[in-house]
C-alpha cells in the first residue's frame, strides 16, 4: 500500500536510524517502536536506508528486510522514501523494484561512490537509471561521502529527464544550496530538502520545502515545530528552537572522533531515550563504549526534556 506524494514533498522526513542487533540482524521490534514514535511526533514522511540508516554497511538481504518491514509497519500512513544509492546501476534498479513491490512512494539516490563520475557522466547515469525506475526519484547530494557534487545545472538536466521529484542536500554548503534553488526556480513542484538540521530553519524561512534531519529520530516534535515556525515566517520562534537544535548538535553529535561521531551519538541517544533498544552500529563502525555513552546521557540530561520529549 503506497502513499502518493503531494508535490512538492514538504516537511520533516526523518532519515531513520536502522535498529540492529548485529551486523546482519534487524531489530524489528525497535523499528516498530521508532516508526510509531515518529508518526506520533508528526513527521511528514519516512526516509529509510540513507547515510543515517547505514545502507552501505548492510547486506542486500537486510536492506530488503528494512524496506519490507518499514512499509508493513507504516501501512500507508506516510510516504516512504527508500534510498537505493549504489555503485552498481543494476543493484540500484533491483532495490527500486523491490521498494515499489512493497509499497514505497519514492526512491532516493546519491551519486555512485566508488568511481567519481564527471557531471556529463552523472547526467547519463541518471538518465539510464530513470529508465529502470518504477517510482519517482529523489536526488541526494552527499559530496563528503560520494566525492562528487551535483552541479546546479546537472540537477536541472536530470530533473528534466524523467520523474524526478526533488533534491536533498547534505553538502552543508548553503550558498550552493541557494544556487540549486535558484536554478530550479521555474520548477515549483520540485522539492528542496535540507540535510543538516543546524540550517533547516533558515532554509525553510527562505523557501526550502523541509528537512531530512537525523535529530528527528530522537525528538520529532522539535523538528516539526521548527518546520512549522519557519513555514509561518515566525522568525523569533525559529530562533528559539534553533538554540535547542544547536545544543543537540553541539553536545550529542560531537562525542568521540569526527566522522562517525554523529551516527554513534544519534544511535546512542535514541537507545538511551528508549526509542530503540540497542545502539549497535554496523561495521566498519562500532557503538560507543561506556565513557562516551555517559557523555551522551549527560548531554540528554542538559536538554529541556520531559517524558522523553523536548518541552516546546
Cβ distance to a second copy smaller for residue 2 or 171: 171
Residues 15 and 105: their CA atoms lie apart, in Å, by 15
Pairing outcome for strands 106-110 and 80-83: parallel
Under rule CB under 8 A, residue 304 binds a second copy: no
Residues 9-48 contacting a second copy, CB under 8 A = 23-24
Mark 245-264 with x for binding to a second copy (rule: CB under 8 A) and - for no binding.
-xx-xx------x-xx----
List Cβ neighbours of 188 (8 Å cut-off, separation of 6 or more). Answer: 8
Shortest Cβ 282–a second copy spacing (Å): 8
Residues 203 and 210: their CA atoms lie apart, in Å, by 8
Give the binding range for a second copy (CB under 8 A) out of 26-34, 65-73, 125-133, 290-298. 125-133
Under rule CB under 8 A, residue 121 binds a second copy: yes
| Residue 254 CA: distances (Å) to CA of 74, 198, 295, 310 | 32, 14, 10, 20
Of positions 198, 212, 226, 266, contacts a second copy by CB under 8 A: 198
Under rule CB under 8 A, residue 196 binds a second copy: yes
Shortest Cβ 179–a second copy spacing (Å): 6
| Three-class SS state of 219 | coil
Q: Are 244 and 310 in contact (CB under 8 A)?
A: yes
Cβ distance to a second copy smaller for residue 35 or 122: 122
Give the binding range for a second copy (CB under 8 A) out of 26-34, 41-49, 96-104, 277-285. 277-285
Residues 39 and 42: their CA atoms lie apart, in Å, by 5
Amino acid at each position: 500500500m503506497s502513499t502518493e506524494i503531494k508535490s512538492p514533498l514538504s516537511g520533516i522526513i526523518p532519515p531513520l536510524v536502522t535498529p540492529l542487533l548485529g551486523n546482519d540482524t534487524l531489530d524489528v521490534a525497535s523499528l516498530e517502536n521508532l516508526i510509531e514514535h515518529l508518526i506520533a511526533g508528526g513527521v511528514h514522511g519516512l526516509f529509510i536506508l540513507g547515510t543515517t540508516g547505514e545502507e552501505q554497511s548492510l547486506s542486500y538481504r537486510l536492506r530488503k528486510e528494512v524496506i519490507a518491514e518499514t512499509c508493513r509497519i507504516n501501512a500507508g500512513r506516510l510516504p516512504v522514501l527508500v534510498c537505493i544509492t549504489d555503485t552498481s546501476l543494476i543493484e540500484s534498479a533491483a532495490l527500486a523494484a523491490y521498494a515499489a513491490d512493497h509499497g514505497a512512494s519514492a526512491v532516493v539516490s546519491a551519486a555512485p561512490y566508488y568511481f567519481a563520475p564527471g557531471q556529463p557522466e552523472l547526467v547519463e547515469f541518471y538518465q539510464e537509471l530513470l529508465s529502470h525506475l518504477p517510482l519517482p526519484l529523489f536526488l541526494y547530494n552527499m559530496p563528503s561521502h560520494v566525492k562528487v557534487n551535483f552541479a546546479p545545472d546537472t540537477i536541472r538536466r536530470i530533473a528534466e529527464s524523467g520523474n524526478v521529484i526533488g533534491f536533498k542536500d547534505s553538502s552543508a554548503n548553503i550558498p550552493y544550496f541557494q544556487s540549486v534553488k535558484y536554478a530550479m526556480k521555474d520548477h515549483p513542484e520540485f522539492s528542496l530538502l535540507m540535510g543538516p538540521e543546524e540550517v533547516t530553519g533558515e532554509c525553510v524561512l527562505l523557501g526550502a520545502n523541509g528537512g531530512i534531519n537525523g535529530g528527528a529520530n530522537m525528538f520529532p516534535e522539535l523538528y516539526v515545530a521548527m518546520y512549522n515556525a519557519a513555514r509561518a515566517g515566525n522568525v523569533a520562534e525559529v530562533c528559539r528552537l534553533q538554540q535547542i537544535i544547536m545544543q543537540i548538535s553541539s553536545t550529542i553529535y560531537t562525542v568521540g572522533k569526527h566522522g562517525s561521531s554523529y551516527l554513534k551519538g544519534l544511535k546512542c541517544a535514541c537507545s538511551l531515550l528508549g526509542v530503540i533498544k540497542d545502539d549497535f552500529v554496523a561495521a566498519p563502525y562500532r557503538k560507543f563504549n561506556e565513557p562516551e555513552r555517559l557523555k551522551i546521557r549527560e548531554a540528554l540530561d542538559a536538554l529541556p526534556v520531559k517524558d522523553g520529549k523536548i518541552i516546546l
